[in-house]
Amino acid sequence: MARIVLGVTGGIAAYKACLLLRRFTEAGHDVRVVPTAAALEFVGAPTWAALSGHPVATTVWDDVHDVPHVRIGQQADLVVVAPATADLVARAAHGLANDLLTNVLLTARCPVLLAPAMHTEMWLNPATVANVATLRSRGVHVLDPASGRLTGADTGPGRLPEPAEIAAAALALLDQRPQDLAGRHVVVSAGGTREPLDPVRYLGNRSSGRQGVALARAAAARGAKVTLVAGPLEVPVPDGVDVVGVGSALEMREAVLAAAASAEVVVMAAAVADFRPAETAEHKIKKSDDEDDAPVVRLVRNPDILRELVARRRPGQVVVGFAAETGDADAGVLEHAQAKLARKGCDLLVVNDVSAGKVFGRDDTEVTVLYPDGRQRPVPAGSKDRVADEVWNAVITILA
């Protein structure tokens, strides 16, 4: 059981911190909540006390005999601030100590994780950009906010990541994982690809990027230098990894092959489109008044990135593929996956059953790791972070 301090600041997303607190307590950790005065305008102290099981200190004048402004930070195993407003980020970067939470941040000698949430203009403001860079340079873990609906009708980057994502990042900092990937460069691909039809439309798929992001996060926690080649993602980019953003399958191929040239492990978790339009219209395809008039899209095959990685594989390099499969009248999920493994020639193939909308966009999954010699390593249903660790455990056995 770890001692977690959950700082909450005055943003509309403060209500989500209740769900984050519940995740921490259900994981068996002892949580002390330190809300700012503004946070209490959104969620009151009785709620925090009831959910955490501890009285809530809100100022440096509470329980002065215990010196809370020093003791809380000193005794913590992890400090998480969610949401972290632009004001809190600025005060933390400048080392201010004008309330209990900033005092805790100054006295903490444990990992600190900030989950920012603010309007897009605030997040992109040069002052905030500089403050985040300062905090990261000091070893503070700052998550990138998600993009989506903000207060009112506004949308854009600045939305608080979902509690599950924050909890996964926080618990990874607590987890005493073996540093068995230390000194190794690994490449992970994540997300789907978008194949343009015209300047507005594209062919895509339902991949959220959650599993690829979990793999990158787990590898970084185990000491690896991680390059994440990412298509469009529905989840924040992990802290501490190098990210190369791509759109189409051709862009994914170019970026993955370039990064793989210096990598010891490549994990192709991205959902790369098998086909793309043969022609991309220069202008938006217009709809006519004729109801029977619809464009015919001719498709061509995209390169097989996984097969190309295997063909270019250097001695000692490990290549891992992913297969999102469904059964049919000819064969079941595992039979199709075994055939795919034989065709691709990779070192491991991670297969999951995506029938009836399973897996995509969800926080949990169930996979089977297949080996070329016919062995199967089932990974029971659980979080995608747990699956990521099991995949890396399998990779380590090959590297060893």
Helix/strand/coil for 63: coil
Please say whether the beta carbons of 8 and 80 come within 8 A.
no
179 part of a folded domain: no
Q: Do residue 20 and residue 143 come from a single domain?
A: yes
290 part of a folded domain: yes
Q: Do residue 354 and residue 205 come from a single domain?
A: yes
Containing structural domain, residue 165: 3-174
C-alpha–C-alpha distance, residues 219 and 224, integer Å:
6
Q: Do residue 143 and residue 191 come from a single domain?
A: no
Q: Do residue 52 and residue 83 come from a single domain?
A: yes
Domain CATH number, residue 251 = 3.40.50.10300
269 part of a folded domain: yes
For 207-236, write each residue's pLDDT tens digit: 889 999 999 999 998 889 999 999 999 888
210 part of a folded domain: yes
What is the separation of C-alpha 333 from the centre of its chain, rounded to a whole number of angstroms? 27
pLDDT band at 256 (very low <50, low <70, confident <90, very high): very high
228 part of a folded domain: yes
C-alpha–C-alpha distance, residues 328 and 305, integer Å:
25
**Catalytic residue among 98, 125, 131, 205, which?**
205
Q: Do residue 319 and residue 268 come from a single domain?
A: yes
Annotated active-site residue 205? The verdict is yes
Q: How many structural domains is the chain composed of?
A: 2
154 part of a folded domain: yes
Domain CATH number, residue 14 = 3.40.50.1950
Among 132, 90, 142, 87, which residue's Cα sits nearest to residue 111? 142
For 323-377, write each residue's pLDDT tens digit: 988 888 787 889 999 999 999 999 999 998 877 655 565 667 889 999 999 999 9
Q: Return the pLDDT at 269.
A: 96
180 part of a folded domain: no
For 31-46, write each residue's pLDDT tens digit: 999 999 999 999 999 9
Q: Do residue 168 and residue 242 come from a single domain?
A: no
For 105-115, write each residue's pLDDT tens digit: 999 988 999 99
Contacts of 50 (CB under 8 A, 6+ apart): none
Cα-atom radius of gyration of the chain, to the nearest Å? 23
- Of the three residues 129, 147, 174, the one that is the final residue of a domain is 174
Statement: the pTM of the whole predicted model exceeds 0.85: no
Q: Do residue 145 and residue 217 come from a single domain?
A: no
Q: Do residue 134 and residue 81 come from a single domain?
A: yes
For 74-133, write each residue's pLDDT tens digit: 888 899 999 999 999 999 999 999 999 999 999 998 899 999 999 999 999 999 999 999
Q: Do residue 23 and residue 70 come from a single domain?
A: yes
Q: Do residue 149 and residue 202 come from a single domain?
A: no
- Of the three residues 118, 141, 174, the one that is the final residue of a domain is 174
- Of the three residues 141, 174, 207, the one that is the final residue of a domain is 174
For 285-296, write each residue's pLDDT tens digit: 888 777 777 888
CA dihedral 78, 242, 257, 348 (to 10 degrees): 0
Q: Do residue 107 and residue 236 come from a single domain?
A: no
142 part of a folded domain: yes
Q: Do residue 40 and residue 89 come from a single domain?
A: yes
